[in-house]
Structure 1
Amino acid sequence: MAQLSLSLLLLLLAAAALSPSPTAARFTCNAKARATTCQALISYTPPPNATTTLGDVRTLFQLRSHRALLASNALPLSTPQTAPAPSPVRVRLPCLCSGGAGATFQRPTYKVRAGDTLDAVARGVFAGLVTYRDIAAANNVSDPNRVAVGQELWVPLPCSCDPVGGLPVVHLTYVVPPGSSVAGIAQEYGATEEIILGLNRLTDAKSLLAGQVLDVPLRVCSSAISSTAIDRNLCVPNASYILTANNCITCGCSSSTWQLDCQPTQGIASSVCPVAKCGDLFLGNTSVATSPASPCEGTACLYAGYTNSTSFAILTNLTSSSMCDAAGMSPAAQPSHSSASRLGLPTRWRWSELIVGIHIVLLCHGLLRRD
């Protein structure tokens, strides 16, 4: 019986050794002459048996702004910190690209409690977004099972700042749920299987593992922001918005036009924010021509960034726009459509919905916001 038990134990150990398991994620992040910074998104899944509030998420990741957390998850600005956090919840953090790889810059940190091990911190506290090996290496810990109570640890979550297919994106750090497929993830986030496989160095779709940390690129909207504006590198993916210009402006991303849609932030005192207008036209509004001779012509007041060199000012750009498609159809007569085009696939732009004269998509590198 003892011999049988020993044989069974050896068999189980051998099986465990041969079983595939997720390894530490290392996202490619090609800094050129110097380190690059950008904003990345982290997809965090709270513990299933606990009621995690938005305030808990903000504390865990040391977010300086509750509004930024709401914006990353497209939640109304009136949502309180005591509200339950969605699962998963998106967290926007600064990413530092150096030495060919990216990691979240300075945050989050974690203070060791009694009974903690690095593996428990990595898997239990941060939901498998990082491994104990990553935490040990980042903090020069020689024995992952022996960390001092009260010790402050930097938790380097993987991220990236690289463009994809020559276009700027926001990279999402994503933990694969059980039962997922590469095709399903690509469909959900508007990418292609080829891009997901290539970014994550997967040989084929069958090699995907539950619990694996993936780099998922999210397409961002193009904008008319001036190259001289402070927020010239603003990147907004679909299903989120960003507050900019000292929170005076809210910019969202339309998945139909893929143009940045910016409006004055509701609830901010007018005494704090300067009026954003293009002549008599307020920011975000469109003036449609009433002349029968030119029924398709109009003008739009677009957000062009903000400056603070001499005084705080919100820039706008009055731009001509076409309200009809190439066949002369008005917006009301045009057929409805849905869904966003995918990264890596040719995009058929709806010219009736695009604003003529917008700037080329701006590169997203170099922005290190503080919220």
Structure 2
Amino acid sequence: MGFAFAKLFLLLLPLLSSLTLEHSAAQGFNCSSPRSCRALVGYVTVNNTDLGTIQSLFNVKNFRSILGANGLSLSTPRTHNISAQQVIKIPINCVCYNDTGTSSGAPIYEVKEGDFLFHIAAEIFSSCDDVNGEKVVHYAHIVKSGSTLEGIASEFGTDEGTLRRVNNITADNQLIADQPIDVPLKACNSPIRSDSLDFPLLAANGTYVFTANGCVRCTCDAAVNNSTLRCEPSQNKPSRWETCPSMQCEASDGLSLGNSTTSGCNRTTCSYAGYNNSTIFTTLEQDSTCSSTTPSNDVTRISLNWDFLCILILLCFHLFQ
């Protein structure tokens, strides 16, 4: 009986949510982009569990995609313990339909008898839209009791104004515990071609993703890579190819994906640009390794004052000889 009720509840979940969320902070994630993308959904664990169980729970095909979404090392085992009430980010594919973001069908949540805390919004909420003119990864964050917009913004590196605008809310009292709120996570910049099968390839800071049929691993680390997506061969067995295609940059004297060469202040990097059914695209990117900062006016003024003082001292010393 309990399992049948849970199954029925899941079937009615989109309808129930569309009704109950009408008066809450989460009125649905607006989505106007005519494309699909990667998004994240927060899942609050009910009991002590492990990553392997969560992978099975959501039918996530590749275990490493869960590791990447949560910034965990690739050496993390499936038996890695997850405590009750801990949040695990679940990667989903999002598409825009009727101006609302929705999951494209995966992952699928398998209801377990007695598990009625469906702290998951993948069936209803996601988005692919840019925010403030920037690429972002939309994260369906489950609001905790007592949360504030300021606290959520601080936790995820955004601002209150953005949260208010994206979620169409004006005050903290519109935040409802255990309901999802759209938190846009800034994504790293990348030279992915618009005709690539993985366009737009989005990864939030502190995460990594696998693409090009698993042949390429791309990492977003704003502190190390200056908010630029850095990609390299994954060394994984490809999912749809017998072997991974060449990842060498043309006209680069043998420079391969992820490798760089430096000449003076100029650094040239072979970067990932996407893929199609048979080819992995690469492109050469250049940046400067030399500091471009110049002294401020105050520093320059202090330096000139010291120079003037030294000249006066030398003149005085000469006059009194």
- Interval of TM-score (by shorter of Structure 1 and Structure 2): 0.7 to 0.9
Q: Distance in 2 between matches of 1:177 and 1:258?
A: 29
Aligned to 1:320: 286
Q: Distance in 2 between matches of 1:285 and 1:113?
A: 47
Aligned to 1:265: 234
In structure 2, the CA distance between the partners of 1:179 and 1:107, relative to structure 1 (3 Å rule), is same
| 2:63 maps to which of 58, 61, 66 | 66
Aligned to 2:44: 45
Higher-Rg member (1/2): 2
Q: Distance in 2 between matches of 1:177 and 1:318?
A: 45
Which blocks of at least 5 consecutive residues in structure 2 are unaligned? 1-22, 296-321
Aligned to 2:88: 89
Post-superposition CA distance 1:264-292 (Å, at most 9, x none): 114559x8323422332232122111xxx
Classify the secondary structure of the residue corresponding to 2:81.
Answer: coil
Aligned to 2:265: 296
1:96 Cα deviation after fit: 3.0
1:58 Cα deviation after fit: 1.5
Aligned to 1:149: none
* Contact persistence 2:25–2:169 (CA under 8 A): no
Aligned to 2:11: none
1:307 partner amino acid? N
1:183 Cα deviation after fit: 1.2
Q: What are the equivalent positions in structure 2 for 1:345-364 lying under 5 Å apart?
A: none
Aligned to 1:305: 274
* Contact persistence 2:208–2:220 (CA under 8 A): yes
Higher relative contact order (CA 8 A, sep 6+): 1
| 2:184 maps to which of 191, 211, 217 | 217
Residues 1:280 and 2:254 are matched in the alignment: yes
Post-superposition CA distance 1:94-147 (Å, at most 9, x none): 223222322223245456677x7xxx63xx2x22x35xxxxxxxxxxxxxxxxx
In structure 2, the CA distance between the partners of 1:283 and 1:187, relative to structure 1 (3 Å rule), is same
Classify the secondary structure of the residue corresponding to 1:281.
Answer: coil
Which structure features the higher share of helix residues? 2
* Contact persistence 2:29–2:125 (CA under 8 A): no
Post-superposition CA distance 1:20-77 (Å, at most 9, x none): xx84833232337xx6432210011101xx2211122112222121121111112222
| 2:130 maps to which of 148, 151, 163 | 163
- What is the TM-score normalised by the length of structure 2? 0.72
Q: Distance in 2 between matches of 1:109 and 1:232?
A: 23
2:148 partner amino acid? S
* Contact persistence 2:215–2:236 (CA under 8 A): no
1:212 Cα deviation after fit: 3.3
1:319 Cα deviation after fit: 2.8
Residues 1:182 and 2:149 are matched in the alignment: yes
Aligned to 2:99: 100
1:301 Cα deviation after fit: 1.4
Identity of aligned residues (%): 35
In structure 2, the CA distance between the partners of 1:246 and 1:110, relative to structure 1 (3 Å rule), is closer
Post-superposition CA distance 1:328-354 (Å, at most 9, x none): 89xxxxxxxxxxxxxxxxxxxxxxxxx
1:296 Cα deviation after fit: 1.1
Residues 1:79 and 2:46 are matched in the alignment: no
1:174 Cα deviation after fit: 0.6
- What is the TM-score normalised by the length of structure 1? 0.63
In structure 2, the CA distance between the partners of 1:286 and 1:109, relative to structure 1 (3 Å rule), is closer
Q: Distance in 2 between matches of 1:110 and 1:297?
A: 49
* Contact persistence 2:157–2:185 (CA under 8 A): yes
Q: Distance in 1 between matches of 2:94 and 2:151?
A: 26
Classify the secondary structure of the residue corresponding to 1:69.
Answer: helix
1:285 partner amino acid? N
Which blocks of at least 5 consecutive residues in structure 1 are unaligned? 1-21, 131-154, 290-294, 330-371
1:194 Cα deviation after fit: 0.6
In structure 2, the CA distance between the partners of 1:30 and 1:208, relative to structure 1 (3 Å rule), is closer
1:227 Cα deviation after fit: 3.0
Q: Distance in 2 between matches of 1:70 and 1:322?
A: 32
Classify the secondary structure of the residue corresponding to 2:67.
Answer: helix
